Amino acid sequence: MYNFWIQTWTYYKGLYDWLHPRGYIANVIGTPVMFVLMWAMMGRYAIDPAASAYYAIGMNVSTMGYNIISALTMSYANDRWYSGLTYLYITKANRFLNFLSRCIPHYTTGLLSFITGMVMIRLITPVDFGAVNWTGLIVATLVVAASVLALAQFLGIFCIIFTEWLNTLAFSLGVTFILCGFVLPLNIFPQWVQEIGKLLPMTNGLIAIRAAFSGAAFSTFWFDILREALTGIVYFVVGYYCFVFFERVVKRSGKLEMEQYG
């Protein structure tokens, strides 16, 4: 276990470029503050105060997702950029533990971002914090953060395959922005689009988070949390198999140059 935690810390410290006080504070405090403020003001101007609360909650989850996904995808891209993967491929290190170790510290980054966003929601929107179902909110948030982590692990593989990790990041953010219900309610889409949206992490969890904010009983949204957790597990498993599969491809072809796969 000692080696596992050393590995976890090394990946975190060595590959996450924004892990210094200025960068970290900017991302876990500055970014959620600005995004929640911006979208709450936007909702108030364009529609009404209720919309401002709706957007603020959605953007808080979105910013948590952004923080986790950008951190992890960057770490994967850096691992290839700094040639760390080459050394991993010549060792007998347990690949599953290696895969797992890459994501753990980023969980806290997402949660801290969410907490900052909560403070902003309290300050600038009409959400009644006295009515919030706190147990449900905490459980839903913990599950959503884990599920986003799984999505980021899955996306990380594309960041070691393709040269430009920013394209992977931007594409994933663009798709989740539309289909996860951060701003657009899912029910405006046709049923089949809604189902696609629910295959993405954050969608089901956000339904639960919104329900918890409105004070709904846990029994009314436990299934959304369960579905969110299952979605996360699927992404994690698929991500792990892609990670192992890519190693096989590299070893078979002998090609790991940056521009090799596009």
Partner 1 sequence: MFFMNTIYAIMAAFRQHWKNTTSNMWSLSFFFGSVPQIAVFGWIAIQNPDPHVLAYLSVGAPFGTVWNSVFFGIAGALSSEIWNGTAEFTMISRTSMLTALIGKAMAMMVFGIPVGIVALTAMLAVAHQWPVIANIPLAFISSIFVFIGLTATGLVMAPVVALARGRTAGMFTTFLPIIVAFSGFMYPVSALPTGLGVVAHILPSAWAMDSVMQAIMGPESAWAVISGWLYSLLLSAFLLAVTYFLFKVVERRLRITGLITY
Kindly state whether residue 175 participates in binding partner 1, applying the rule CB under 8 A. Answer: yes
Q: Which helix (H) or strand (E) holds 202?
A: none
As a whole number of angstroms, the distance between CA 109 and CA 150 comes to 14
Amino acid at 110: G
| CB-nearer residue toward partner 1: 31 or 153 | 31
Considering only 184, 186, 216, 234, the residue that binds partner 1 (CB under 8 A) is 184
What's the closest the beta carbon of residue 36 comes to partner 1, in angstroms? 10
Kindly state whether residue 167 participates in binding partner 1, applying the rule CB under 8 A. Answer: yes
Considering only 46, 97, 131, 233, the residue that binds partner 1 (CB under 8 A) is 46
Within positions 230 to 259, which residues make up the interface with partner 1, using CB under 8 A?
none
Q: How open is the CA angle 222-114-58, to the nearest 5 degrees?
A: 65
What's the closest the beta carbon of residue 199 comes to partner 1, in angstroms? 17
Kindly state whether residue 87 participates in binding partner 1, applying the rule CB under 8 A. Answer: no
Kindly state whether residue 159 participates in binding partner 1, applying the rule CB under 8 A. Answer: no
Of the candidates 222, 50, 235, the residue with the CA atom closest to the CA atom of residue 137: 222
Considering only 4, 14, 26, 81, the residue that binds partner 1 (CB under 8 A) is 26
Q: Find the part of the chain contacting partner 1 (CB under 8 A) among 103-111, 141-149, 171-179, 201-209.
A: 171-179
Kindly state whether residue 200 participates in binding partner 1, applying the rule CB under 8 A. Answer: no
DSSP-derived letter for residue 28 is: I
Kindly state whether residue 138 participates in binding partner 1, applying the rule CB under 8 A. Answer: no
**Residues 6 or more apart from 81 whose CB is under 8 A from it?**
258
Of the candidates 143, 193, 201, the residue with the CA atom closest to the CA atom of residue 173: 201
Amino acid at 88: L
What are the Cα distances from residue 14, in Å, to 17, 154, 213, 219?
8, 20, 38, 43
As a whole number of angstroms, the distance between CA 76 and CA 117 comes to 27
As a whole number of angstroms, the distance between CA 130 and CA 138 comes to 15
- Tell how many helices (H) and how many strands (E) occur in the chain: 12, 0
The answer to whether 261 and 161 have CB atoms below 8 angstroms apart is yes
Considering only 70, 78, 141, 147, the residue that binds partner 1 (CB under 8 A) is 70
Kindly state whether residue 85 participates in binding partner 1, applying the rule CB under 8 A. Answer: no
Q: How many residues bind partner 1 (CB under 8 A)?
A: 40
| CB-nearer residue toward partner 1: 9 or 171 | 171
Of the candidates 195, 210, 110, 115, the residue with the CA atom closest to the CA atom of residue 151: 110
Contact map string, positions 210 to 229, toward partner 1, x by CB under 8 A: --------------------
Kindly state whether residue 88 participates in binding partner 1, applying the rule CB under 8 A. Answer: no
List contacts with partner 1 (CB under 8 A). Answer: 17-18, 20, 22-24, 26-27, 30-31, 34-35, 37-39, 41-47, 51, 66, 70, 163-164, 166-167, 169-171, 173-175, 177-178, 183-184, 188
